[in-house]
Amino acid sequence: MGDAAREGGCLCGAVRYSISGEPLVTAVCHCTHCQKQGGSAFSVVAVVTDAQYSQSGETRVYADRGDSGKGVERHFCGNCGSPIVSLVEAMPGLTMVKAGTLDDPRGLTPTQEVWCGSAWDAVPPFAGTTRVVGAS
């Protein structure tokens, strides 16, 4: 997609966002907290700089501690509950956009899988990814 913006938002439309340019990396997170927040086996995140991300509409924040023990701000729509982004204390200046909230996620290819020690046995590795037991 080059420098084109990607857009996305929550299920009810109260929160909308735009990402300028391409993500630095697209990763699959198998940590137990992403599993619980997303109600799924893993979460796919598009990692962008804070400057690449702009948002309209307010999110609520759940202050969490990830599997690393470091702080994680989990932003979600207060109306419909859709997870939107995570801000990770150990990764200042970066925004982890929940890729499932993109209007069109085509073209995003995960290149990393993190927290693979928590991965479900029934979920095979993604083709072409580098797998890390903990965080990258």
Given a cut of 50, is residue 1 above it in pLDDT?
A: no
Residue type, 56: S
Residue 1 placed within a domain: no
Given a cut of 90, is residue 3 above it in pLDDT?
A: no
pLDDT at position 68: 77
Residue 64: domain span: 6-131
φ, ψ of residue 16 to 5 degrees: the values are: -130, 150
Residue 45 placed within a domain: yes
Using DSSP bridges, classify how beta strands 25-29 and 112-114 pair: parallel, antiparallel or unpaired. Answer: parallel
Distance CA 43, CA 27 (A): 8
Residue 38 placed within a domain: yes
Measure the CA angle with vertex 43, ends 35 and 127; round to 5°.
Answer: 120
pLDDT at position 136: 56
CATH number at residue 77: 3.90.1590.10
Cβ 25 vs Cβ 8: under 8 Å:
no
| pTM confidence score | 0.89
The torsion of the CA quartet 58, 64, 66, 71, rounded to 10 degrees, works out to 90
- Overall average pLDDT of the 107-119 stretch: 92
Residue 20 placed within a domain: yes
- Overall average pLDDT of the 17-42 stretch: 93
Long-range contact list for 68-76, CB < 8 A, 24+ apart?
68/134, 68/135, 72/33, 74/33, 74/37, 76/10, 76/37
- Overall average pLDDT of the 126-133 stretch: 88
pLDDT at position 50: 98
Residue 136 placed within a domain: no
Average pLDDT, the chain: 92
Number of domains in the chain: 1
pLDDT in tens, 58-104: 999 999 987 778 899 999 999 999 999 999 998 999 999 999 999 99
DSSP 32: H
Given a cut of 80, is residue 115 above it in pLDDT?
A: yes
pLDDT in tens, 7-24: 999 999 999 999 999 999
Residue 65 placed within a domain: yes
Closest to 123 in 3D by CA, of 39, 36, 30: 30
Q: Which residue has the higher pLDDT, 102 or 133?
A: 102
